[in-house]
Amino acid sequence: MTQRLVILWAVLLAASASCVAAASPGAPLVLGIASAQTLNGVAGDYVTVAARIENTSDQAVSDVTTYLSLVNTADKLPVDLEDWSAEKGLYVGVIESGQALPLDWKIHFVKPGHYALTVVALVAGREMPAVSPVVYFRVEPKNSLDPGHILPVALGMPVVLGLLLLLLNYRRRTRP
Amino acid sequence: MIRLIWAKEVRAELYTWRSALWLLLASLIFSFTSYLLLTNKELTLLDQTELLWLLGKIIVGTALLMVTIDASSILTSEFEHHTAESLFIAPIRLRDLVIGKFLASLTLWGALYVVAVPYMIVAAAGTRLAPAFLGYVALLGTLGVAAMVLLALGIAFLFRSSKNALTTTLVVLLGLTVPALFTSALKSGFVARVFERINPVDSIFAALDNVLVDYQLSPLQNGRFLLPLAGFLAAAFAFAVFAAWRFERQGIVRSGS
């Protein structure tokens, strides 16, 4: 009798375990960042954020979509990714148990400022997404022209020309 | 004789401060543009080559406008100041007169180009594009300005009035320039694409883009832009010759008027 109860308990336990796995398909996905945690650059530069997604569960996870989330930390506002990345999201599909996949995102530094980027993985049917550690961007402003060079010309040329015209006028008036 | 006419016109154009004020205004336009390119946050995000392209377009555009206005009145002023009669009675060939005035107008372009050189050199600092930038602005500007001057002289011969000649020439220039400023979406139609291929102003802007942004530096790589420009110059020359011939046939006082 006791032996039968143990077998029944074991069968129920196994059944309940399989029900949990079905209800939350795929045990935890782990998102990591392989590139530097802080990326510096000048507006206009391109950098690559190398992320890695790994299925640490013992079952395959299907319907995985990854996307980027970018926040301007100074303004405390999310940033529209329109010009920052050609690929806003990436549908991964199925990740086998124990499988790890690289996710490389080419990022265009559009505006100077301080930003925080995370990679988010959403699994259909799961309530909680997996989120990577934060990658910080420090984007310096870009001056396409060197102000130290152009300003003397921009200010100097009209002044020189003006003086030249005044001199011409003076010479013309004083000439006998 | 050509040299005398050229010298007289250039002296009249550049000798007094009032007549040369446009040169100062042109330098202010270039200074203002350079300042904007430096300080405007959106513009400074552009590649340096695109800034050069923008500056090149502004230099050539300013030259086309200013020299065209000048060329429209350089001949008609003789009629309006009643100096035409004595001029044509004098032993001056019409050909010499036209060439002298044509060269005087081109000299104004030369003066404007000299003013623009420091801006171009400084703007191109850090790139290896300075010689190409200077060379192509000179080449494209000279072709475009020469064609517009010939066109303006031809129109002046036909109208003999500054007001009419200036208005007509400016409308022609506007008709060529405005479509060149359209976005590529507006140029997608068949007619727009054909006009784009033959429009000299479009050719100037596209050649500058090809050289400065796409690094196509050799004249052969820009042949498809230089050819329409050369064609426009040839057409303008033929028009000026025809108008001068017609003027000579009609005489100073139009027969029948």
Per-residue pLDDT of chain B (257 residues; tens, 9 = 90+): 778 877 877 777 776 666 678 889 999 999 988 888 766 666 666 677 888 888 999 999 999 999 999 888 888 877 777 776 676 676 778 888 889 889 999 999 999 999 999 999 988 887 788 899 999 999 999 999 999 999 999 999 888 888 888 999 999 999 998 888 877 767 777 788 888 888 899 999 999 988 888 888 888 888 989 999 999 999 999 999 999 898 888 776 655 44
Q: In this complex, which of A153, A158, A165 lies closest to B20 when CB atoms are compared? A: A165
Q: Which residues of chain B does A172 touch, with a Cβ-Cβ cutoff of 8 Å?
A: 15-16
φ, ψ of residue A53 in degrees (nearest 5): -115, 130
Classify residue B255: in a domain, yes or no: no
pLDDT for B45: 62
B 51-90 residues with CB below 8 A of A? 51
Q: What domains lie within chain A, and their CATH numbers?
A: 25-146 (2.60.40.10)
Report the 3 state secondary structure along chain A: CHHHHHHHHHHHHHHHHHHHHHHCCCCCEEEEECCCCEEEEECCCEEEEEEEEEECCCCCEEEEEEEEEEEECCCCEECCCCCCCCCCEEEEEEECCCCEEEEEEEEECCCCEEEEEEEEEEECCCCCCEECCCEEEEEECCCCCCHHHHHHHHHHHHHHHHHHHHHHHHHHHHCC
**Interface contact flag, B17 A169, Cβ < 8 Å:** yes
Residues in A closer than 8 angstroms to B34, CB to CB, are: 145, 150, 153-154
Count of domains observed in chain B: 1
How many other C-beta atoms lie within 10 A of the C-beta of residue A175? Answer: 6
B125 belongs to a structural domain: yes
Better pLDDT: A17 or B138:
B138
Q: Where are the alpha helices (DSSP H) in chain B?
A: 2-14, 21-39, 41-44, 48-74, 76-80, 84-89, 94-123, 130-159, 162-180, 190-198, 200-212, 223-250
Q: Is residue B192 domain-resident?
A: yes
Q: Which one, of B182, B43, B48, B22, lies nearest residue B123 by Cα?
A: B48
Q: Cβ contacts (< 8 Å) between B43 and chain A: which residues?
A: 144
Nearest to B122 among A150, A161, A172 (CB): A150
> A68 and A118 in contact (C-beta within 8 Å)?
yes
Q: Which of A83, A144, A161, A172 to mutate to test the interface with B (most CBs of B within 10 A)?
A: A144
Q: Would you state the structure tokens that stand for residue A92, as one six-digit string?
A: 């991964």
* B115 and chain A in contact, CB less than 8 A: yes
User: Range of B150's domain?
Assistant: 2-250
- B173 CB-side CA count, 13 A: 27
Residues of B in contact with A175 (CB under 8 A): none
